[in-house]
Amino acid sequence: MKFVNFEKRERIGIVRINRPDKLNALSPEVLEELKLVVNDISKDDELVSAIITGTGKAFVAGADIGYIGTLDEEGGYEMALMGQEVFSAIENSPKVFIAAVNGYALGGGCELALACDFIIASENAIFGQPEVNLGIMPGWGATQRLAKKVGMNWAKYLILTGDRIDARTAFNIGLVQKVVNHDNLMDEAINIANVIAEKGPTALRLAKESINRSFELGDFGFKYEALLFGKSVGSPEKEEGIKAFFEKRKPNFFK
């Protein structure tokens, strides 16, 4: 692939957006490659977790503004749907996706990070939804996901002002889960991905599904959680986990 690099390390995958001359801006071609990689990760039974990061000084600086400039209303609608499809595939994947934000995460880049299960940020990271500065609004999920992550007021502030925030501010408002030294970013992300990769993949998949649906199910969310809990208890992985607990050893869910 030209713009998206993929590396497999045992049970984790590493995805790098590789368009540094354009600050990894997401063109239709980049989105199409990312879609293929995400789908392959989701179908790979050997993989449990995956990291998405950028090459160079940006995570993803946004959508390809030059391309947006060529679009009419119908084209804008279709481009929004294209990005939403890719990001929803990440959000709804049975695998755990970690955003390792190494620099600028603006517009579509912030939306890509939001679609991941959580965010580890370099101290150099910058977040923002600056679309209003171009006379447009976010189209790849920010108006839906950002409020769930940081609350409606912060979502409105970031989207309606187009302001940028640094990694520490992003951590303080709950957008980012961990801020690390820039040089240690990938080591920390890989360590976390490896910790997750040791867990039971069925339990991870079911827990992620239950959390994702918590906002839409209301009181039924507790019943849904109980149903998924039952599925996890009925899985062979539970047998290994319980046995390992009593034998005082680490479970091996991948025999």
For residue 28, the number of C-alpha atoms closer than 13 Å in the C-beta half-sphere is 12
Same domain membership, residue 91 and residue 190: yes
**For the segment 201-232, what is each residue's pLDDT rounded down to a tens digit?**
999 999 999 999 988 888 899 999 999 999 99
Query: Hey, which residues are catalytic here?
Result: 111, 131
Regarding whether 192 and 215 lie in a shared domain, the answer is: no
Q: Is 166 within a domain?
A: yes
> Is 254 among the domain residues?
no
**Secondary structure (3-state) at 3:** coil
Cβ proximity of 69 and 135 under 8 Å:
no
Tell me if 126 sits within 8 A of 104, measured CB to CB: yes
> So what's the pLDDT on residue 90?
98
Q: Classify residue 253: in a domain, yes or no.
A: no
Same domain, yes or no, for 61 and 98? yes
Q: Do 213 and 235 share a domain, yes or no?
A: yes
Name the residue range of residue 37's domain: 4-197
Does residue 144 contact residue 113 with C-beta atoms inside 8 Å?
Answer: no
Residues 161 and 50 in one domain: yes
* Residues 114 and 221 both lie in one domain: no
Tell me the mean pLDDT in the region 174-189: 97
Residue 191 and residue 86 share a domain = yes
Q: Give the containing element (helix H, strand E) for 27.
A: none
Residue 230 has a pLDDT of 95
Provide the number of structural domains found in the chain: 2
CATH number reported for the structural domain that contains residue 135 in this entry:
3.90.226.10
**pTM, rounded to two decimals:** 0.95
pLDDT tens digits for range 50-63: 999 999 999 999 98
Over residues 43-70, mean pLDDT: 95
pLDDT at 254: 83
Q: Write out pLDDT tens, residues 146-178.
A: 999 999 999 999 999 999 999 999 999 999 999
**What pLDDT does residue 171 have?**
98
**Who wins on pLDDT, 105 or 220?**
105
| Spatial contact of 151 and 127, defined as CB atoms under 8 Å apart | no
pLDDT at residue number 253: 86
